[in-house]
A and B are shown apart, each in its own frame.
Chain A
Amino acid sequence: MSIINRRSFLKLMGAAAPAVLMPGVASWIDQNLRLKAPSKPNIIILVFDAMSARNLSVYGYPRQTSPNLERFAERANVYHTHHSGGNFTIPGTASLLTGTYPWTHRAINHSGAVKHDLAGNNVFRILGDDYHRLAFPQNVWADLIVSQFSDDIDTFLPPGTFGELDYLLGNNFPKDRNLATRALDDLVFKIGQAPVSLILGTMHRGFYSRASALLDSQGYPRGIPQNVNYPLNFRLENVLEGLASLMPEQPSPFFAYLHLFPPHAPYRPSGKFNRLFIDDEYTPQNKPTHRFSDQYSQEKLNLARRSYDQYIASLDSEFGRLMDSWEDAGVFENSYVIITSDHGEMFERGEKAHSSPLLYEPVVHVPLLISTPGQKSRRDIYSPTNAVDILPTLADLAGNPIPPWCDGMPLPGLGGGEDLERGTYTVEAQRSSAFGSLKKSTIALRKGNHKLIYYTGYEAEDSFELYDLSEDNEELENLYPAKPAHAKKMKDELLEALFAADRPYTK
């Protein structure tokens, strides 16, 4: 596919006139043509960590949290039933980048990793050398996954890039980055717990703590945003400005995976958004406390939800500036721009955030908006889709074959067809071994309007919940006992898929 946008065309015409008189200019035009008119489209994936579709006004949330995403949606494909592969960064990111479910790639634990013999099955390798491949995992957990694929990445920007403070130590070991980060930043010097290294650990956190105390927090009443559990601080505006200037500099065709840490907790909106939604009339629905939750009071959950919404609004404002900048630079004319998240966030049923066995919609329903090159109008797509569909879609867009090991399929509107009855999975198994069958796990199967949730290993007996999301969008009425035939059909499908995934690990 050859793309020459209006801007490139005008530049070429301007240069073509003197080329008739000056032979040297002709070769410049030839070179420029190859640079500016790639045979393959540029692709940008922008991941906002822990961004639930349920808290975005672009998906109908009553609070106006995302006016700029709404603006973006007017020129994009909007996927209304998109789900993450996992419920926290490690499995969610791995599913997105490998096109496989967590029960396949096995990055299922906190700080876990993609199974070594599968690490070559990643989107960077699938796109191949034709692309200049860039990765910026600002979230350290995403970095633990992305750096496994470093052999297939041309430009790697470590998490501290565009940041205010960076006390990560793994960066100093470029040849052994993944294991050095795991050993040093995630084990020996990890903050938030007693350091494994007594003296240097004390000095490291002392210096970081001092530097962060001296950091100018102007504009952020709750402090400069930071990576939780890791010594990294950043300003939203600086990170997004960095990305604004970064993309136009990339050689075409390029693939950029930009995984931003916000709006992940701690929620630290900028001053303008610090008191947003305080006096609004929105009251979240009160839902019964779940037996697997941390039993937070509704009042605490509502407060946390408001902070989260404020942080999203703050981030969205900066995203608006990024969008304008990319618009001016012509990025949208020759690039697919994909906006999504690795997992969501919940503030209901006594549970806060996302790392629990609960896979309700706020945790698994994530945004997916894709602007195709030059797209000017909005298209709404309601078929169930999943993070595992990103890799086959990109392979297809780049003109490469879809790998057979992939669990996903091309997205509707981008090579794939709409299939409202398709089944997709989200897998939570953080308390299971990556080297064994999933003994303690929650699995959600979304199929058509229904969603089946399966809890195994948490109690003496396994349990199921079934919801009809067309009638009960808030997942309040468990239909499992009331619809036995439908429940059995979905249960059989889920257990069969789980059995097949577990087969290599069962003796």
Chain B
Amino acid sequence: MKLLKRIPTLEQVSPVYAVIVLMISTWSLIHFFWRLPSLLYYSTFGEITVFISYLVVINLFESILVLLVPVLLAIILPQKWFYAQFVTKGNSLVILGLGLIMLFYWNLIGEFLSPWVLIQKVLIIGLILLVLTFLIDKVGFLNRSIMEFSNRAIIFLYVWIPVSATSLLIVLVRNIL
């Protein structure tokens, strides 16, 4: 029961989830728009809507997957270490983690180098990220900036939730009916 009490509240989760959604969606949309001119050569508006639906559903799943990381840390780490500053620490972790993967791909665009290298080193990278997360929390300016940014990002969820629900519905209908 003590563990259940450590699950972050909706107020705590929302700003972290908003930042996750913002980062993941931005990445996806940038890459989707790179491909859009060629898609427009041969795809109808309806097909492009279906492509976007699949993309949004994938983003929905991965955003939930990423959210689980800070939530799990809040549950398993001592309350003072993570739960108490869930928004700032969760956001720091997410920004650093996703940022690192983005940087990894940004330098490898057009190449097919094994991301297994990244996955193999995930423990070391994870440890470094955790240390950085705790260090960022000690810098007041960064702390406040993250809080302000993530609170403002929540507005993005008002768009994201209906869009992802519609996309999920489209994918389900196409695969069930």
Show the binding face of A for B, using Cβ within 8 Å: 106-113, 116, 173, 175-176, 179-180, 182-184, 187-188, 191-200, 202-203, 205-206, 209-210, 213, 432-434
Contacts and interface: CB of A to CB of B under 8 A. Distances in A.
B160 interface: no
Interface stretch (B38-46, B84-92, B143-151): B38-46
B42 A200 contact: no
B175 A198 contact: no
Contacts of A433: 40-42
B54 A184 contact: yes
A188 B174 contact: no
Contacts of A434: 41-42
8 contacts: A176-B174, A182-B51, A183-B51, A198-B105, A199-B98, A202-B119, A206-B115, A206-B119
B38 A213 contact: no
Given A183-B54, A433-B41, A195 B105 contact: yes
Contacts of B95: none
Contacts of A184: 54, 58
Nearest to B51: A183
B32 A198 contact: no
Nearest to B119: A206
Contacts of A197: 28, 55, 58-59, 62
Interface stretch (B1-9, B106-114, B131-139): B106-114
Given A182-B51, A188-B55, A209 B114 contact: yes
Nearest to A433: B41
Contacts of B98: 198-199
Nearest to B59: A197
Given A176-B174, A206-B114, A198 B38 contact: no
Contact of A187 (B27, B51, B110, B177): B51
B65 interface: yes
Contacts of B43: 113
A179 B174 contact: yes
Contacts of B177: 175
4 nearest A-B residue pairs (beta carbon):
A183-B54, A112-B42, A199-B62, A194-B105
Interface string B116-154: 101100000000000000000000000000000000000
B61 A200 contact: yes
Nearest to A211: B116
Nearest to A430: B41
B60 to A, nearest CB: 11
Interface centre among B24, B58, B171, B176 (most CB of A within 10 A): B58
Contact of A179 (B32, B47, B62, B109): B47
B40 A198 contact: no
Main secondary structure of the interface of B (DSSP, over half): helix
Contact of B62 (A110, A193, A200): A200
A156 to B, nearest CB: 16
A198 B54 contact: no
Contact of A213 (B23, B27, B116): B116
Nearest to B104: A202
A334 B141 CA distance: 81
Contacts of A205: 112, 114-115
Interface string B9-43: 00000000000000110011001100100111111
A195 B112 CA distance: 10
Nearest to A198: B27
Contact of A209 (B31, B109, B116): B116
A199 B65 contact: yes
A194 B103 CA distance: 11
Given A198-B28, A199-B101, A206 B175 contact: no
Contacts of A198: 23-24, 27-28, 62, 98, 101-102, 105
Nearest to A192: B112
A466 B98 CA distance: 56
Contacts of B114: 205-206, 209-210, 213
A180 B50 CA distance: 9
A432 to B, nearest CB: 8
Contacts of B75: none
A112 B38 CA distance: 9
A287 to B, nearest CB: 30
A188 B58 contact: yes
B163 interface: no
A103 B109 CA distance: 34
Contacts of B65: 199-200
Nearest to A182: B51
A84 B105 CA distance: 38
A206 to B, nearest CB: 5
A109 B28 contact: no
Contact of A202 (B35, B38, B58, B118): B118
Given A175-B176, A176-B175, A183-B55, A196 B42 contact: no
B157 interface: no
Given A111-B42, A187-B55, A193 B115 contact: no
Interface centre among A191, A195, A196, A433 (most CB of B within 10 A): A196
Nearest to B62: A199
A184 B42 CA distance: 17
B168 interface: no
A199 B58 CA distance: 9
Contacts of B119: 202-203, 206, 210
B32 A206 contact: no
A347 B153 CA distance: 54
B66 interface: yes
A194 B41 contact: no
Given A193-B110, A198-B27, A198-B28, A175 B174 contact: yes
A195 B31 CA distance: 8
Contacts of B102: 198
A202 B118 CA distance: 9
B105 to A, nearest CB: 4
Contacts of B42: 106-109, 111-113, 433-434
Given A112-B41, A187-B39, 15 more contacts: A112-B42, A175-B175, A175-B177, A183-B50, A187-B32, A188-B54, A192-B110, A193-B110, A194-B31, A198-B27, A199-B66, A200-B61, A202-B105, A206-B116, A210-B119
B99 to A, nearest CB: 11
